[in-house]
Structure 1
Amino acid sequence: MPFPITKLPYLPQVEVLKQLELQELFLLSLCSEKSKKLVQTANLKVEILKFSLNGKGIQVLVESNDDVHCVASMKLVQLASSDETPIKLGGSKVQCRCIEEPPTSQLSHTFQYLQTEEKIVFESIQHHMRTLFRDTPRVQLELSSIAALSKAEVIKDVTDTSFSMETLETSVLENYLSTRQDQQSIQLKASLVGPPLAGNSRLWNVKGLAVHGTFADLVNQILLGPRVVIPGIIRNFGGEHLCFTDVMYNIDSWRQLIRRWRAKEAYHDLRWFSTTSPAALPIIAGTALDEFNLVRWDGIRRPRTVKLDSKIVSFIMKEEIDCSSWMDIQQDGGGKWASIKMTDSTICFVVWD
């Protein structure tokens, strides 16, 4: 039996809306202009609005209070269907087919559209999502194919981008950064191929840079040694957060970073550096830190814990990190303090204000 929510008084309406999942609120907002305004009265607050493109459609996720929710999925199909119907999406009418998904699916409903509708679908879904929330959320983009990259230009105000594909040409990455100059963070879940990035590449100036090793990278590193690109990234990076996951590289690159930071030659804005090695290949550190004369924390000179800005590099751990057992190092001439943690699989380096 249908529940006439729009006929309830205002306060009961708000209480009902609070019980709904974000996906349910999105579906409710499509029913009519009145229902959309009703959803807007809930004053939904989200920190991150993420658009994921794979070349065959677009998926929308939102992050609120460190929880990620999948809200909408629009899928490209090749053949028209007799039960297509127009929906009001972001102020525009879009021809779509609504599909009810099995109970085990992440979403209860998805929407199918034809190629001729794709541009308006992408433009409308982002406008629609922005108008549902109380504040302006941070916009992130995930691209899982070159085909997706070619369609991404209609997504506006993007500050963080994740490239999740097998390979990515350095020239393509550089062109992307030149057309989207407001990037705060980049995640590379792809093997960079092509000419090395120049010393003046825009990549070095993003606040957060995360590099994820792939299985192909791991095989090549075992056979050929660490990728040349990794020392280049470490040497040229000028941002705040630099993270490597499942990546091998020569420990000398890590030592050189500390030397240059301590001497105030580089990394003036660095706040965090970390790396984790592939599970089967531990870091062989040996006496890598002996030259730095590290000292134990005295409980006074710097905080006990650090909490990283997960919006800059979204995969960074979101809870506070206890640094009480980490070793400390100070820049030459009485400069900033930093703390270091090294295990068989992890290296972490945090700079204190």
Structure 2
Amino acid sequence: MPINLLKLPRSVGVLVVAELEYREVFLLSLCSRRTTSLVKKAEIKVPKLAVHFKDSCGYKEFNILAVTDKGRLLVTSVLHVSRLESKKIFTVKLGNDQEAETNFEMFRLKRGQFIHRMKCAIEPMAVQKAVQDYINSIFHYSDSYQLILITEREGKLPNITNVNDIIIGLEILLELVISEESWIKVTKKKAFLGYVTVHPQFLTNVMMTYPDTQSVSVYSDIVGDIPNESPFFQIPHFFVAYGKKFSCGPDYIHNFYGKNLRLERASLTEQDLIQFLQKWISHEAYYNLETLSINTENALDQDLIRQAIEYEEFDPNEPEKRPYFLYFKIPYFIRPLTKYRLRDPKVVEIKRITDGRRGFLYINGKNINFVVQQN
């Protein structure tokens, strides 16, 4: 038997709202001013919010997701269309006297859950900002956003603010992450067809649009060289993965000024790595570096590299000279902390001349890790 939520004692109504899914909270808030007030009174907090932007059937789709320990959960979805079906128009009030005429669609998942999508025909940039502001309001959210761009885009990028984490690349990867909260069907065949490429100018446009970005992950081929002065090399946390046709050259290392860099497919020589290590040792560059992780196309000769630098091998008779592990919080990894094992004969210690700071180098065939102890 249905129960009128607004006829319950306010304290009980707040408890009911607190048990709803994020998407259900959003829908409830749209029903009336009283339900909006009830939602805000419940003070539901979301750990992190993300915007997922892609093309869908020739239109632009704008999804807002809650990033939780269960994955990315859909909160709401907006599809920008050329016109609405006149018989199904529903006016959505987004607070601050902002309204949007929409067609509402509901989808039923296999588990019996329902998700929704709003179709809008008004100027996309205005809708995107209004939706973000409204979501911030009902969830009392003031933290930064993650932005997920499936493909390289022509024209304007999403009109959202407070972006500090950007993911660019594979559609199949991101839709698997969204998983059961998405109505999009994912097949094995699509996994091979969904691969995309991006160009350096697009990456520059992204950085100019979202200048406060702290972390970027690129899950695609970057076609062409990124200019040495590109703001991308100034990003504290940079991850390039899944190159199919093109590899990352040594310029990705030589021009990097940030804290954490990971390259999944890099074309490097022993001399490139030696140059990097010598600049770190002399404090000529890489002042803020914490971790460098690289998978190279070809195995490097670690003996040749060791001959060019001063290092100290692991002494099993005095293991206490090193920590067991070093832990780092690296934004482009899902896990809260990434740990690196140091008490290993394959890990050699290197010291920076100016301040004695310790770095630890691991080379095993095509895999390279260099981590810097922070205290």
Q: Please give the range of the TM-score, normalised by the shorter of the 2 chains.
A: 0.7 to 0.9
2:220 match: 190
Asked whether the 8 Å contact 1:45–1:64 carries over to 2, the reply is no
Distance 1:35 1:235, change over 3 A: same
Distance 1:32 1:251, change over 3 A: farther
Tell me the secondary structure at the aligned position of residue 72 of structure 1: strand
Distance 1:129 1:231, change over 3 A: same
1:321 match: 339
Q: Is 1:103 aligned to 2:109, yes or no?
A: yes
Which sections of structure 1, spanning at least 5 residues, go unmatched?
218-226
4+ residue runs over 6 A deviation: none
CA distance in 2, matches of 1:106, 1:182: 40
Asked whether the 8 Å contact 2:48–2:68 carries over to 1, the reply is yes
Deviation at 1:107, TM superposition (A): 7.2
2:192 match: none
Deviation at 1:184, TM superposition (A): 1.3
CA distance in 2, matches of 1:164, 1:130: 26
Instruction: List per-residue Cα deviations over 1:256-289 (Å, max 9, x = no partner).
Output: 3223212212100111111346xxx784555365
Pairs within 5 Å for 1:1-353: 1-55=1-55, 56-64=60-68, 67-78=71-82, 80-81=84-85, 82-91=87-96, 92-104=98-110, 108-147=114-153, 150-164=155-169, 166-194=196-224, 196-217=225-246, 227=247, 229-245=248-264, 247-252=265-270, 253-276=272-295, 283=299, 286-287=302-303, 290-291=306-307, 292=309, 293-296=311-314, 298-299=319-320, 302=323, 304-310=325-331, 313=332, 315=333, 317-321=335-339, 323-326=341-344, 327=347, 328-344=349-365, 346-353=367-374
2:188 match: none
Deviation at 1:27, TM superposition (A): 1.8
Deviation at 1:106, TM superposition (A): 11
CA distance in 2, matches of 1:274, 1:182: 24
Deviation at 1:128, TM superposition (A): 1.2
* 26-35 or 265-274, which deviates more: 26-35
CA distance in 1, matches of 2:256, 2:103: 46
Deviation at 1:307, TM superposition (A): 3.4
Tell me the secondary structure at the aligned position of residue 50 of structure 1: strand
2:175 match: none
Tell me the secondary structure at the aligned position of residue 36 of structure 1: helix
1:223 match: none
Deviation at 1:66, TM superposition (A): 7.7
CA distance in 1, matches of 2:102, 2:167: 28
CA distance in 2, matches of 1:302, 1:66: 32
Distance 1:24 1:254, change over 3 A: farther
* 294-303 or 201-210, which deviates more: 294-303
CA distance in 2, matches of 1:98, 1:200: 46
CA distance in 2, matches of 1:66, 1:267: 36
Distance 1:16 1:251, change over 3 A: farther
Deviation at 1:179, TM superposition (A): 4.0
Tell me the secondary structure at the aligned position of residue 127 of structure 2: helix
Distance 1:322 1:122, change over 3 A: same
Deviation at 1:31, TM superposition (A): 1.7
Which sections of structure 2, spanning at least 5 residues, go unmatched?
171-195
Percent identity of paired positions between Structure 1 and Structure 2: 22
Asked whether the 8 Å contact 2:274–2:305 carries over to 1, the reply is yes
Deviation at 1:212, TM superposition (A): 1.5
Asked whether the 8 Å contact 2:302–2:363 carries over to 1, the reply is no
Tell me the secondary structure at the aligned position of residue 45 of structure 2: coil
